[in-house]
A and B are shown apart, each in its own frame.
Chain A
Amino acid sequence: MSTDEQAPPGTPQATRGIFDPQLLSACISCGFCLPACPTYRLTLDERSSPRGRITLMRALEEGRLDEDDPTLQEQAAFCLGCRACETVCPAGVQYGRLLEQWRDHQWRGRHVPPLALGLRAGMRITPAFTVGGRLRGAARPTGAPSPLAPDGVRAHLMLGCAERVLYPQVSRAVLQLLPGVVDVPSGQGCCGAMHAHNGGSGAAHAMAEELGRRLPGLILTTAGGCGGHLAQVLGRDRVRELSEFLLEYWGEHPERIPPLRRLSRDGRALRVGLQDSCHLRNGLGVTAQPRELVARVAEYVELPSAGSCCGSAGTYSLLRPEDSQRVLDTHLDEIEAADLDHVVVVNPVCQRQLIGGLRRRRSRVTVLHLAELLALALRERAATDE
């Protein structure tokens, strides 16, 4: 029936062995992913769509394109890796896994962007961010992990590498919200998510396993991106992001829900929006929980693009600052138009991205991590507004 003289896609033939063949053959090119893709929406260009990128991956795998083809290099780097395409894909294509395999190959040897190389190396120096976290006042590690018990410590809090230095108040807030329920073991390194997304998935796997040994049992994370990576390596049952943990735990122990007041200013409830974390939403499927928690303490406002990548995308904002800004602009416009008091984030790189963007626009909207917002509602200052 076909007049195609070349071997059709999917036909067994000499391949380069870069991709898992089953993952690569899952896509049928229906294009349902196109409207979900932030880079396709920006460009309306097939090359910059998930379907187009998979066509490129196949051409690479099957030897129809040179390994160093500039379009391969460019598109592997231009992709945000947000995995929004996965949630709308009826065929169940695991695009995130394919992208990791693609970047492993594309960014091999001399092809790694120098900045990514530097970050990959830097994030492996655990003592540096251990000291940094201490100086900045992140939650203080307390030695060996405590044994987990149903009525005692339920999870080990992961401090994150960048997060403990950039936003030390987040881990402190978690301890305020969950006194006696989580502990903070010492010696925590980086989970390797950054490496997985930057062409170093071998190291990324080892780092997640090492962190898994340092934090045995359930790991509580305040970083959606790290949670997504850890779940992929260690298994979903080992990982809880803060919002899902809080609702699970408070659901089991209603008597331990701390008094949370409604946050208000000038006699009206605070208006608070949310920016989803892509890997929390698209990887772990956590969407309702952070919204429910925000709504408990403030007037929740759904931003139209809340579920779409803000452009931080791990190290993307550092590697491709201009593209990152183009993606971010839509979000900033919506935040400014929504008359918000705060935007809540559930991932530190999103926090950095939105803080920077809103500062540049001199916006009066402030960015808070979900843990910070809830801790704010915890404080007994009933007499005064926030």
Chain B
Amino acid sequence: MTAAGPGTVPATLDAGVLDELRALVGAEHVLTSDGDVEPFSRDATPLFRARPDAVVLPSTTEQVSAILTLATRRGIPVTPRGAGSNLAAATVPEHGGIVLVLTRMNAVLEVSGAELLAVVQAGATTAALADAAAAQGLLYAPDPGSRTVSTVAGNVAMCAGGLRGLKYGVTRNYVLGLEAVLPTGEVLRTGGRLWKDVAGYDLTRLLTGSEGTLAVITEVTVALLPLPASTGTGVAYFEHLADAGRAVARIIADGALPATLEFLDRRCINAVEDFAHLGLDREAGALLLFGDDGAPDVVATSLERMAGACTRLGARGVTLARDVAESDALLAARRCSLPALARLAPITMLEDVTVPRPKLAEMVDEIDRIAGRHDVVCATFGHAGDGNLHPTIVFDPADGDVRRRAEAAFDEVFRTAMRLGGTITGEHGVGAAKRPWLAARLGEDQLALLRRIKTAFDPAGILNPGKLGS
């Protein structure tokens, strides 16, 4: 939080600065009243909130550049924001100042079948990009759970993952080029429309996952693929989540690389079923959602092979989706796991640890033990194929010291994941939420380098201060 209390404006955001901002983007796109800025004080991360002094909604790259130039000159913190669906409190303006919202810049500028790429403005939603690509028979592969809400630049800034990571990778594998504005106002174009381009440091990759701390992304060029001819999805039920984890290890060890391998434990199955009414097996200890895409006969073979592996590993039931609608319904249900868990208690605290795939079953068992030791209710789901787990502790803050117990449990989960060769966050980012564990993950030398990189991009330290590299 800033030193400024509600209703007061810090010296850096005096009337002169506000007048300049209004002149830049129009008075209706500069919000300053308590009520107007309140909705921008949080994102999808529970327990983090800080009110900005102003919210600015630019519509052009030139405006972004002018705003940043002004902010650097006057030392005003700027926190870039897309749709605010991130889960690491990366867009919470802990130091006040300006929240820079890019949702007005939402055009899909180009989809090129000849070049297999698309160019979008920062605020286009992931679903809008995917739909525009699909309309031309093309696939935008990254598929984060929040795709209908999240913006493409937000996905890039957080390096979002999703449900197709195993076969297709994550956002960083598809970013060809960026237009980004440095805090000092220069407009950069990194990379471009080329698959091969090694001229210079890979700044495109560096900005991908930089969490709004190095530059403000205003335009994104992404790689597309031909749309697969067909997709198929199946469901296997197991007695325990760890059994599902072993099935995943077997499927991958057998040499398959399917598009989707997702799992949910019993609490998640029931929460999702309460919302989606798909007829899921509420008694099962775990659900494994497997899917693949490609030519119809290839998909059929792949699904059969995965179904067979699940059966051999003791699945209590295996079914295949009959058609695309059923397939889509299953995937949609998986995407809503987190919000569906919110039905269980007022606070839903979600983590994002990732371990090497062979350690998945071990990590699942460890999470169970840790939750038991700290006496917290933990539901786990995740991208099993990527070793990416979302253990989620649900609690009612009125329940004594439960929040402290939840935090202690997660501390142990993080340390266990790292001991198994894993990481504190696979796809949600560090933000403010996982900052306390970053040093343990990276080590002092890397952390120091992060700081030097941050200074090179942002000498005044105005961009998303307090987060990565600060």
CA distance A340 to B460 in the complex (A): 61
**9 smallest beta-carbon distances between A and B, as pairs:** A71-B35, A52-B39, A90-B336, A91-B342, A25-B346, A90-B339, A69-B35, A90-B340, A8-B47
Q: A1-B410, A4-B49, A35-B149 given. 10 additional CB < 8 A pairs?
A: A2-B433, A4-B1, A9-B42, A10-B46, A35-B127, A44-B106, A55-B41, A59-B35, A90-B276, A90-B338
Nearest-Cβ distance from residue A322 to partner chain B, whole angstroms: 15
Whether the pair A65, B38 counts as a contact (CB closer than 8 A) is yes
Please tell me the number of chain B residues within 8 Å of chain A, measured between CB atoms. Answer: 56
CA distance A239 to B276 in the complex (A): 24
Residues of chain A in range 83-125 having any CB-CB distance to chain B below 8 Å: 89-92
CA distance A55 to B52 in the complex (A): 14
Whether the pair B148, A6 counts as a contact (CB closer than 8 A) is no
Interfacial residues, chain B to chain A (CB-CB below 8 A) = 1, 6, 31, 33-36, 38-44, 46-50, 57, 83-85, 94, 101, 103-104, 106, 123, 125, 127, 146, 148-149, 272, 274-276, 336, 338-340, 342-343, 346-348, 397-398, 407, 410-411, 432-433, 435-436
CA distance A44 to B59 in the complex (A): 12
CA distance A40 to B340 in the complex (A): 22
Whether the pair B44, A69 counts as a contact (CB closer than 8 A) is no
**B6, B47, B436: the one within 8 Å of A4 (CB):** B47
Whether the pair B6, A29 counts as a contact (CB closer than 8 A) is no
Whether the pair A46, B33 counts as a contact (CB closer than 8 A) is no
- 19 A-B pairs whose Cβ atoms sit less than 8 Å apart in the complex: A1-B407, A1-B410, A4-B49, A8-B48, A9-B49, A10-B397, A28-B348, A29-B44, A30-B342, A32-B339, A34-B148, A45-B103, A51-B39, A56-B35, A64-B38, A71-B35, A91-B339, A91-B340, A92-B274
Whether the pair B348, A47 counts as a contact (CB closer than 8 A) is no
Whether the pair A6, B397 counts as a contact (CB closer than 8 A) is no
Q: Would you call A380 an interface residue if the criterion is a C-beta within 8 Å of the partner chain's C-beta atoms?
A: no
Nearest-Cβ distance from residue B348 to partner chain A, whole angstroms: 5
**B38, B432, B436: the one within 8 Å of A56 (CB):** B38
- Residues of chain B lying within 8 A (CB to CB) of residue A8: 46-49, 397
Nearest-Cβ distance from residue B90 to partner chain A, whole angstroms: 13
- Residues of chain B lying within 8 A (CB to CB) of residue A90: 272, 275-276, 336, 338-340, 342
- Residues of chain B lying within 8 A (CB to CB) of residue A65: 34-35, 38
Interfacial residues, chain A to chain B (CB-CB below 8 A) = 1-6, 8-12, 22, 25-32, 34-35, 44-47, 49, 51-53, 55-56, 59, 64-66, 69-72, 75, 89-92
CA distance A264 to B103 in the complex (A): 47
CA distance A267 to B398 in the complex (A): 69
Q: Is the interface of B mostly helix, strand, loop or mixed?
A: loop
Instruction: Tell me whether A44 and B103 are in contact in the complex, defined as CB-CB below 8 angstroms, given that A9-B49, A91-B339 are known contacts.
Output: yes
- Residues of chain A lying within 8 A (CB to CB) of residue B103: 44-46
In the complex formed, the residue of A with least CB distance to B29 is A45
Instruction: Tell me whether A92 and B275 are in contact in the complex, defined as CB-CB below 8 angstroms, given that A2-B47, A31-B83 are known contacts.
Output: yes
In the complex formed, the residue of B with least CB distance to A8 is B47
Interface centre among A1, A6, A92 (most CB of B within 10 A): A1
- Residues of chain A lying within 8 A (CB to CB) of residue B346: 10, 22, 25-26
CA distance A22 to B343 in the complex (A): 11
Instruction: Tell me whether A46 and B6 are in contact in the complex, defined as CB-CB below 8 angstroms, given that A5-B1, A34-B149, A35-B149 are known contacts.
Output: no
Whether the pair B339, A30 counts as a contact (CB closer than 8 A) is yes
- Residues of chain B lying within 8 A (CB to CB) of residue A4: 1, 47-50
- Residues of chain A lying within 8 A (CB to CB) of residue B272: 90
CA distance A47 to B83 in the complex (A): 12
- Residues of chain A lying within 8 A (CB to CB) of residue B38: 55-56, 59, 64-65, 71
Nearest-Cβ distance from residue B142 to partner chain A, whole angstroms: 18
CA distance A45 to B31 in the complex (A): 11
Instruction: Tell me whether A32 and B148 are in contact in the complex, defined as CB-CB below 8 angstroms, given that A46-B40, A90-B275, A92-B343 are known contacts.
Output: yes
- Residues of chain A lying within 8 A (CB to CB) of residue B50: 4, 6
- Residues of chain B lying within 8 A (CB to CB) of residue A26: 342-343, 346
In the complex formed, the residue of B with least CB distance to A9 is B49
Whether the pair A66, B48 counts as a contact (CB closer than 8 A) is no
- Residues of chain A lying within 8 A (CB to CB) of residue B125: 35
- Residues of chain A lying within 8 A (CB to CB) of residue B44: 28-31
Give the A-B contact count at a CB cut-off of 8 A.
145
Whether the pair B148, A66 counts as a contact (CB closer than 8 A) is no
Instruction: Tell me whether A30 and B85 are in contact in the complex, defined as CB-CB below 8 angstroms, given that A1-B436, A52-B39, A90-B275 are known contacts.
Output: yes
- Residues of chain A lying within 8 A (CB to CB) of residue B398: 12
Whether the pair B42, A55 counts as a contact (CB closer than 8 A) is yes
Nearest-Cβ distance from residue A171 to partner chain B, whole angstroms: 35
In the complex formed, the residue of B with least CB distance to A28 is B342
CA distance A352 to B40 in the complex (A): 37
Nearest-Cβ distance from residue A45 to partner chain B, whole angstroms: 8
CA distance A75 to B38 in the complex (A): 12
In the complex formed, the residue of A with least CB distance to B344 is A91
Nearest-Cβ distance from residue B3 to partner chain A, whole angstroms: 11
Whether the pair A70, B397 counts as a contact (CB closer than 8 A) is no
CA distance A8 to B47 in the complex (A): 5
- Residues of chain B lying within 8 A (CB to CB) of residue A12: 397-398
- Residues of chain A lying within 8 A (CB to CB) of residue B31: 47
Nearest-Cβ distance from residue B201 to partner chain A, whole angstroms: 32
CA distance A5 to B407 in the complex (A): 16
Nearest-Cβ distance from residue B98 to partner chain A, whole angstroms: 15
Whether the pair B1, A6 counts as a contact (CB closer than 8 A) is yes
Nearest-Cβ distance from residue A54 to partner chain B, whole angstroms: 9
CA distance A9 to B47 in the complex (A): 6
- Residues of chain A lying within 8 A (CB to CB) of residue B94: 3
CA distance A26 to B347 in the complex (A): 8
In the complex formed, the residue of A with least CB distance to B346 is A25
Instruction: Tell me whether A69 and B397 are in contact in the complex, defined as CB-CB below 8 angstroms, given that A8-B47, A92-B274 are known contacts.
Output: no
Nearest-Cβ distance from residue B53 to partner chain A, whole angstroms: 15
Nearest-Cβ distance from residue B405 to partner chain A, whole angstroms: 12
Whether the pair A56, B39 counts as a contact (CB closer than 8 A) is yes
Whether the pair B149, A31 counts as a contact (CB closer than 8 A) is yes
In the complex formed, the residue of B with least CB distance to A10 is B346
Whether the pair B433, A1 counts as a contact (CB closer than 8 A) is yes
Nearest-Cβ distance from residue B289 to partner chain A, whole angstroms: 16
Whether the pair A66, B34 counts as a contact (CB closer than 8 A) is yes
In the complex formed, the residue of B with least CB distance to A53 is B39
- Residues of chain B lying within 8 A (CB to CB) of residue A5: 1
- Residues of chain B lying within 8 A (CB to CB) of residue A1: 47, 407, 410-411, 433, 436
- Residues of chain A lying within 8 A (CB to CB) of residue B85: 30-31
**B40, B148, B339: the one within 8 Å of A28 (CB):** B339
Nearest-Cβ distance from residue A85 to partner chain B, whole angstroms: 12
Interface centre among A30, A34, A49 (most CB of B within 10 A): A30
Nearest-Cβ distance from residue B448 to partner chain A, whole angstroms: 22
CA distance A2 to B336 in the complex (A): 25
In the complex formed, the residue of B with least CB distance to A24 is B346
Whether the pair A44, B104 counts as a contact (CB closer than 8 A) is yes
Whether the pair A3, B106 counts as a contact (CB closer than 8 A) is no
- Residues of chain B lying within 8 A (CB to CB) of residue A11: 397
Instruction: Tell me whether A31 and B84 are in contact in the complex, defined as CB-CB below 8 angstroms, given that A6-B49, A92-B274 are known contacts.
Output: yes
Whether the pair A47, B339 counts as a contact (CB closer than 8 A) is no
CA distance A293 to B305 in the complex (A): 45
Instruction: Tell me whether A46 and B39 are in contact in the complex, defined as CB-CB below 8 angstroms, given that A10-B346, A28-B46 are known contacts.
Output: yes
- Residues of chain A lying within 8 A (CB to CB) of residue B84: 29, 31, 46
In the complex formed, the residue of B with least CB distance to A34 is B149
Whether the pair B41, A46 counts as a contact (CB closer than 8 A) is no
Whether the pair B33, A70 counts as a contact (CB closer than 8 A) is yes
